[in-house]
Amino acid sequence: MNRFIGTRLSRWLVFALCALFAVEPALMAQELPTLGEAGGEALSPLEERKYGEEIMQQYIRRSPEYLDDPETIDYINHLGFQLVAASAARHIDFEFFVMRDATINAFALPGGFIGVHTGLILTAQSESELASVLGHEIGHVQQRHLARSLGRQRDSMLITLGSVLVALLAARSGQGTNAALAVGQAAALSRQLAFSRNDEREADRVGFQILTDAGFDPQAMADLFARMQQGTRAYASVAPAYLQTHPMTEERIADMQARIRTTRTHQHADSLEFQLIRARLRVLQDESTPGLRDRLATFTDQIAHHSAVSDTAAYYGMALADIKLKQPAAAVEAALAARRSTEVPSAMLDDMVALARYEAAGNDAERDQALQLGREASAHFPLSRAVAMQYTDLLQRAQHHAQAIAYLRDQLALSRTDPDFFNFLATSYAALDQKTLQHQATAELYLLLGSTPAAVESNCNLPARRPMPISTP
């Protein structure tokens, strides 16, 4: 069940699963809101948000594919909120996240949660192309397509729900799961398709306007969709997952081109972070020793031939791969080369230098020098969650728990909604044997993760359970 995103089930099946868990509370820690009676109104914004939060808590963040990487999360949210700021959906509390999956896909969940596969980030040939997909998904959320679909497709969802129930029973006996799902999917899809085409056209229109207003190149939207469509025209069965869940037509592509002809377009230079994140994800896609060595060789070749990948991004990727391979001296050399190759301020580059220096440190003096670099990066980029998390991690590894606590309290003054900060805080309090404060921090962690009973238990100073993992990479 955890892999329903990774296996690329279409969006309406995701909602059918939500419905299943709403009527089968034994399968979930907390019951989802009911869908209401057939023919009722669309979900309210509050109900929609509740659905999204439950899906994120129960499935997405616990999925092996969920990429709990601070640098990647920082980047995709920064890009996403550039687009949100130019939309009519600014009042919605969006959250962007990344799934470690090589397929080309992105999807919106109820309540403003938007997921992107690593395969899409690596396939996009420019930052504007990636932004165009995010803009399209923001369009779905802004126009409340998800809530409206739930209101008008309850009959289709009941068919799908029945097929999922049959599939679950068949799975217990080891027979017929795929066939049962296929029958329900085909019946529901035939009833959904007319709606989805209209929704896709509207999301194109809204996403195009968001992309343009945010300062990105609108031509990128047409280029990306046309390239995906052209590459799979002869063999629809091997179409990218994104085209399978977002049916593309020649009419939609022609409409985009017509809008471009009447729009004042402009070039948008890719940010350094876009290039660095792509290098980072190439390393994180395959962290096996052979995979890391292959990636090192690729980065070395790219630097030698000055390929489309910038030298800065290639050196950064080399440094990360060297750290994963336990080659700290080589990591320091690559990280410093990356930092010297550009004058653009970058939290990711400064962070990499500090981390590589700490990994290569052979004594307390060298570790203190690395910590100083981390402290400077934190001062230069005070709003970077990734910088804050790495600096805290280095402080704790160096057993500087009192400093870590003081630093974390400053971070919590900015945001009290990040469970990772409370997890760090509980760790340092435990190291200093400050059990009451440890229990309080752990209780805050559980509350943010949606586990109220565990929070009450921890705050009553009962034996604390191990904090729930935020992800299982």
Q: Does residue 3 lie in a domain region?
A: no
Of 208, 227, 261, the residue at which a domain comes to its end is 261
Q: Determine the straight-line distance between the first and last CA of the chain, rounded to whole angstroms.
A: 16
Q: Does residue 394 lie in a domain region?
A: no
How buried is 325 (Cβ within 10 angstroms: 0-12 exposed, 13-18 middle, 19+ buried)?
A: middle
Radius of gyration of the chain (CA): 24
User: Is 254 in the same domain as 304?
Assistant: no
> At 226, is the pLDDT very low, low, confident or very high (cuts 50, 70, 90)?
confident
pLDDT tens digit string along 402-458?
A: 999 999 999 988 877 888 999 999 999 999 999 999 999 999 988 887 776 666 666
Q: Does residue 200 lie in a domain region?
A: yes
> What pairs with residue 95 in β-bridges?
113
User: Is 378 in the same domain as 406?
Assistant: no
Cα(256)–Cα(251) distance, rounded to whole angstroms? 9
Angle, alpha carbons 215-133-267 (nearest 5°): 30
pLDDT of 54 = 84
Q: Per mean pLDDT, which range of 47-51, 166-170, 339-343 is the poorest?
A: 166-170
Is the C-alpha dihedral spanning 242, 247, 250, 253 positive or negative? negative
- The average pLDDT across 8-34 equals 41
pLDDT of 303 = 92
pLDDT of 239 = 62
Burial 266-300 (b: 16+ CB within 10 A, else e): eebebbbbbbbbbbbbbbbbeeeeeebeebbebbe
Query: What residues contact 370, with CB distance under 8 A and at least 6 apart?
Result: 354, 355, 357, 358, 361, 394
User: Is 104 in the same domain as 126?
Assistant: yes
- Largest Cα–Cα distance of the chain, in whole Å? 70
What CATH number did the domain enclosing 314 receive? 1.25.40
Domain range enclosing 322: 283-386
User: Is 224 in the same domain as 161?
Assistant: yes
User: Is 202 in the same domain as 349?
Assistant: no
> At 109, is the pLDDT very low, low, confident or very high (cuts 50, 70, 90)?
confident
In percent, how much of the chain has pLDDT > 90?
A: 52
> At 199, is the pLDDT very low, low, confident or very high (cuts 50, 70, 90)?
confident
Q: Does residue 253 lie in a domain region?
A: yes
* Residues 116 and 123: beta-carbon distance below 8 Å: no
> Which DSSP string corresponds to 58-95?
IIITTSTTB---HHHHHHHHHHHHHHHTTSS-TTS--E
pLDDT of 273 = 97
Q: Does residue 454 lie in a domain region?
A: yes
> At 373, is the pLDDT very low, low, confident or very high (cuts 50, 70, 90)?
very high
Of 327, 358, 386, the residue at which a domain comes to its end is 386
Q: Between β-strands 106-109 and 113-117, what pairing exists: parallel, antiparallel or unpaired?
A: antiparallel
Cα(177)–Cα(115) distance, rounded to whole angstroms? 27
Question: Looking at the predicted structure, is the pLDDT value of residue 292 above 90?
Answer: yes
User: Is 411 in the same domain as 370?
Assistant: no
> At 10, is the pLDDT very low, low, confident or very high (cuts 50, 70, 90)?
very low
| Spatial strand order in the sheet of 106-109 | 95-99, 113-117, 106-109
Angle, alpha carbons 242-247-249 (nearest 5°): 125
SS3 category, 107: strand
- The average pLDDT across 186-215 equals 74
Cα(388)–Cα(379) distance, rounded to whole angstroms? 10
Cα(384)–Cα(75) distance, rounded to whole angstroms? 10
pLDDT tens digit string along 25-38?
A: 333 333 444 444 43
Among candidates 95, 472, 127, which has minimal Cα distance to 278?
A: 127
pLDDT of 198 = 81
Question: Looking at the predicted structure, is the pLDDT value of residue 94 above 50?
Answer: yes
Q: Does residue 236 lie in a domain region?
A: yes
Q: Per mean pLDDT, which range of 115-119, 252-256, 376-380 is the poorest?
A: 252-256
Question: Looking at the predicted structure, is the pLDDT value of residue 9 above 50?
Answer: no
Is the C-alpha dihedral spanning 442, 447, 453, 459 positive or negative? positive
203 vs 356, higher pLDDT: 356
> The pTM is what?
0.80
Cα(200)–Cα(139) distance, rounded to whole angstroms? 9
Q: Does residue 111 lie in a domain region?
A: yes
The segment with the largest mean pLDDT, out of 50-64, 158-172, 348-362, is: 348-362
Among candidates 59, 2, 54, 63, which has minimal Cα distance to 30?
A: 54
User: Is 91 in the same domain as 199?
Assistant: yes
> At 47, is the pLDDT very low, low, confident or very high (cuts 50, 70, 90)?
confident
- The average pLDDT across 11-26 equals 42
What are the angstrom distances between the C-alpha of 193 and each of 12, 42, 48, 133, 469?
Answer: 11, 18, 22, 20, 38
> At 225, is the pLDDT very low, low, confident or very high (cuts 50, 70, 90)?
confident
User: Is 204 in the same domain as 235?
Assistant: yes
pLDDT tens digit string along 137-149?
A: 999 999 988 777 7
334 vs 180, higher pLDDT: 334
Domains: count for the chain: 3
User: Is 223 in the same domain as 85?
Assistant: yes
Of 358, 386, 414, the residue at which a domain comes to its end is 386
Among candidates 177, 157, 159, 158, which has minimal Cα distance to 167?
A: 177
Cα(426)–Cα(435) distance, rounded to whole angstroms? 9
User: Is 206 in the same domain as 322?
Assistant: no
Tokens 């709003």: give the residue: 383
User: Is 37 in the same domain as 181?
Assistant: yes
Tokens of 376: 């400077």
**Residue count (the chain):** 473
User: Is 128 in the same domain as 164?
Assistant: yes
Question: Looking at the predicted structure, is the pLDDT value of residue 99 above 80?
Answer: yes
Tokens of 412: 């919590």
* Residues 251 and 225: beta-carbon distance below 8 Å: no
Q: Does residue 427 lie in a domain region?
A: yes
Q: Which helix (H) or strand (E) holds 99?
A: strand 95-99
Question: Looking at the predicted structure, is the pLDDT value of residue 338 above 70?
Answer: yes
